[in-house]
Structure 1
Amino acid sequence: MLGHLILALFLIQQAGSVDLQQAQEAFQMGRYSQAREKLRQALERDPRSPTLWSYLGLTDAQLNDLDAAIADFQKALSFAPDNAQTHFDLGLLYRRTGNSQKALEMYQRGLRLSPDDPAANQNYALLLMETGKFREAIAPLQKLLGLGTPSLSVRVALIESYLKGGMNDEGKREIQGFLQAPNATMADQLKLVKVLIEDKQPEQAQFILEHVVKVSPDSAEAHAQLGLLLATKDQYEAAVQEMGRAVRLAPESAEYSMRLAEILILWKRYPTALEFLAAVKNRFGRLVEYQYKLGLAYYGLPRIPQAITVFDKLAREHPDLDLVQFFLGNCYQTTGDYEKAEPHYKRAIELNPQQGSYYAALAQLLRKASKDRTEEALTYLEKALLLDPQDIQSKLELGLCYEKKSNYPRAQSLLEEVVQQQPDLVPAHVALARVYYRQKKKEAGDREKSIVGRLEAEQQARKLQSERPADLP
């Protein structure tokens, strides 16, 4: 629209009319209402001028009177139907009003008149992507590249359109071309990674990151991003190697060190996490995140008294950290001190009432504490499931509450949902076996008991593996 504005101003300057000159001055100074009034006066003298109607459309758009602006440009189009820019301006306005179909129609008409307009091709492609028409967006994006517009945003949009349009082979080829382009910097490649991750394309993001760390092995940022991506895919061993490399390359980075500790904890390599945290204590030991990770490592071992010491100090110094309150509650519940655990869970809920797992943990405590508090536990579980109807822990706790109330059919239904959603959750199978037996369903109970035995053996094998310290890279 800016190019059209400049053209309109140029034509007005040539006209020499006092009204037009005053309209121009008012527009340039942001006095759009005054400019509109002068333009309307000019149109009374020359009502068939497409330029005046277009300029009035620009002015109405500045006043956010989009319906009037559209009417103005439609009037301009009636007098100059072959003006491509007017079609493009209408496309922009229809897009602003949310009328994507009309916007697409205007761009299509305009591009038939002026197929090589870079801005129009770009806006048309973006609109197609916004409306989910990724395959159709490919042609205008390719046109932009052919017009010599090889910007990062265009290449990224083309890759995204290929992948989201189901054209994975073409997307991979475009990524290869992007990586081999002589003007593609590492920063550009990492920006593309970010876009791909946001678009839920982790495999393509990993492909690029592996290329980057290969050609730039001393890039701490690339190794760190690859480590984080691998961790989201539960590939913890490889993630530790990459994040460890980032830590060695940038030992002063608190972010990389804390992410390495986090991945070790997610991997359940608690001894190694403690060893690493001890090694970086002098550099990062005063950080809140360091103390939090230290508490998590102690909790995972489990060395509960040490975890309580760390979390309690954090809670006193930073009383508004809901996760600290939550894990303090977990620690006290683990020791059987339900009286101390309860206020910490309630404080966590107060700080973050949208976190369903907090309600589930409190409900578990209430169920264990007393049969008389089962109804209270059910209330908290209903809140948790309102926040997340698929939350496994809440469903499990709800099933256990109904078991405690001797409502075995309801408990069975919930527990069967849980084991279907998470087949390796041992406590759910244990509870389901109990519920079957109490309903005299011996065959089903025996089946669950057998599953429990197999899962516990697998857990023990993993536990022995996790107790062996992992080698820090």
Structure 2
Amino acid sequence: MAGFSTPVGSADRIFSQKQWKQPFVLPSPLRNPARDEWQLSPDFWFRMPFMPRSRSHTPVILATGFAFVLLSGFPEIVTSQQAHQAQRGAPGSSRQPNDRDAVLIRGIQLHQSGHFEEAIRDYYLFLKEEPDSFVARANLGAALAHEGRYTEAIEEYNQALKIRPGDLRVELNLALARYKALDLEEAARDLVGLNARQPDNLNIALLLGDCYFRLGEYKKAVDLLGPFETTHPQEWALIYLYGMSLIRDGQVEKGEVEVNKILSHGNSAEAHLMLGAARLAIYDNAGAIDELSTAIKLNAKLPMVHYLYGRALLTLGHRDDAMKQFREELAIDPNEFDPNLYLGVLLNQSEEYKEAKAYLVRALQVRPGDPAARFQMALGEIGTGDLEQARMRLEAIIRENPDFLDAHVSLAQVFYRLRMKSNGDHERTIIAKLNAEQQAREQARGTKATQEAKGDSPAPGREASGHGP
């Protein structure tokens, strides 16, 4: 985390706003009457980065007091001395170094000096003669990962683990390769096992927590990181991720405590980013623009700052400027879910379906199965006339999310266009039921808000007469 100097104030006033008391839920969809289509509202969740991260092929997670390298430099490569000993065999063995060993040792030396392509060549050359070499497999995976060849790296790590099951270094590198390849669900599964074996390892916990956060599993991130909060009170990466996970999980008061720890440490881009995000969440869009523009002036490469600035601009109706900011964000990291999704939504709305699809495909690489991104894909398919594909996609979404109102609306339209009237009529019945339920919930919330404003809300454990929870 960047250094801090002078205080910039407290988030108490921001977090005390009523809007923060509500749980974070999927946004209500908006209808576009001009084209008689339904679009998902662009008011999606924001995602805060838990720490600044390098966005090259060698990203490094840094926090005060520790450095955790992600496939950077030479992650857990075996040294030439270790390789020499490993290839000689056990003590007392008659095995002597030979020309093949020299190829492996040369590959490791090239690897250590940063000549990764040459090292990869030597590792492959050695493996033609010694395919069961753990050392060569593990180091080849590390070199391939450094070059961004994550699929090949994953294969080599898996081969290495067949030779030496349970090797912690290779298992961690495998998880990191999957993380970088955007296979966050598999990376999380790997890291769960590593966390069970090393429950006190903060670095593993932070990486697993970031996987959970990027997958939208905020409660898991909170439960994982909570125990570290008291044992590592000065780890800003932990405080950042834990605090934002609490807020996204709806535990706003607890999150406020963590966020204030960051805000109290000075006039940094990170502090203004957090203030801007908080103001955006309570619909203080002008205030959000002030904070986020300051953050950009301090650090225009700060992850998520352009995305949030675009959010604020879009809310005020500046669509083109917002799209420019989303693209600026993707220039920093093309794999951020939210700006990809926003651009997909906005381009669908302007009927630029081909360009929209590219962003939506990228969003789904980050969060496979995300209902909002899949729904937007279906809208693009409707727009291009691929009605059968849209039908199958919408039916799959509804099976997993039966209360997704807009998906039912779009599916009804598709059925009618496919001349499947009975199916369309069935969807209309479901739509009427979901609309009635939604209106009842809104009425109940309005009644409760009125009672609270008057100071006569029902006592704990009792519901207002005539209204559900």
> Scaled by the length of structure 2, what TM-score is found?
0.48
- Considering Cα pairs closer than 8 Å and 6+ residues apart, tell me whether 1 or 2 has the greater RCO: 2
For the pair shown, the structure with the greater C-alpha radius of gyration is: 1
